[in-house]
Amino acid sequence: MRLGTGENINVWQQSWLRKQGHRYVTSPIVPGLENLELSSIVHHQNNAWNLEILNQILSLEDINEIIHTLVPSFKAEDKLIWAEAIDGLYSVKSAYTMIMKNFLQHDDMCVDGGWKMIWDMKIPQRVKLMICRSFAGIIFFPQEATYEEEESNARLLAHYAKSLLTLSLLAQ
In tens, the pLDDT along 87-107 reads 878 888 888 888 877 776 665
Residue pair 40/115 in contact (Cβ under 8 Å)? The answer is: no
Cα distances from 9 to residues 79, 87, 152, 164, 165, in angstroms, run 9, 21, 62, 58, 56
* Domain membership flag for residue 101: no
Residues 78 and 137 in one domain: no
Instruction: Give the contacts of 11 (CB within 8 A, at least 6 positions apart).
Output: 25, 33, 36, 37, 38, 40, 41
Residues 75 and 28 in one domain: yes
Q: What is the mean pLDDT of the chain?
A: 76
Average pLDDT over residues 64-78: 77
Query: Cα(29)–Cα(12) distance, rounded to whole angstroms?
Result: 7
Residues 72 and 32 in one domain: yes
* Domain membership flag for residue 98: no
Average pLDDT over residues 17-31: 82
For the whole prediction, is pTM greater than 0.85? no
* Domain membership flag for residue 23: yes
Query: Cα(121)–Cα(169) distance, rounded to whole angstroms?
Result: 8
End-to-end CA, the chain: 49
* Domain membership flag for residue 48: yes
Residues 20 and 79 in one domain: yes
Query: Cα(143)–Cα(98) distance, rounded to whole angstroms?
Result: 38
Confidence class of residue 24 from pLDDT cuts 50, 70 and 90? confident
Residues 34 and 64 in one domain: yes
* Domain membership flag for residue 10: yes
Residues 131 and 62 in one domain: no
Domain of residue 21, residue span:
1-91
Residues 117 and 78 in one domain: no
In tens, the pLDDT along 130-152 reads 777 776 666 555 555 565 666 66
In tens, the pLDDT along 41-54 reads 888 778 888 999 99
Residues 20 and 74 in one domain: yes
Residues 16 and 64 in one domain: yes
* Cross-strand pairs, 10: 37
- Number of domains observed in the structure of the chain: 2
Instruction: Give the contacts of 42 (CB within 8 A, at least 6 positions apart).
Output: 6, 48, 49, 50, 71, 72
Q: Is the dihedral of CA 133, 135, 138, 144 positive or negative?
A: positive
Q: Which of 60, 91, 122 is the last residue of a domain?
A: 91
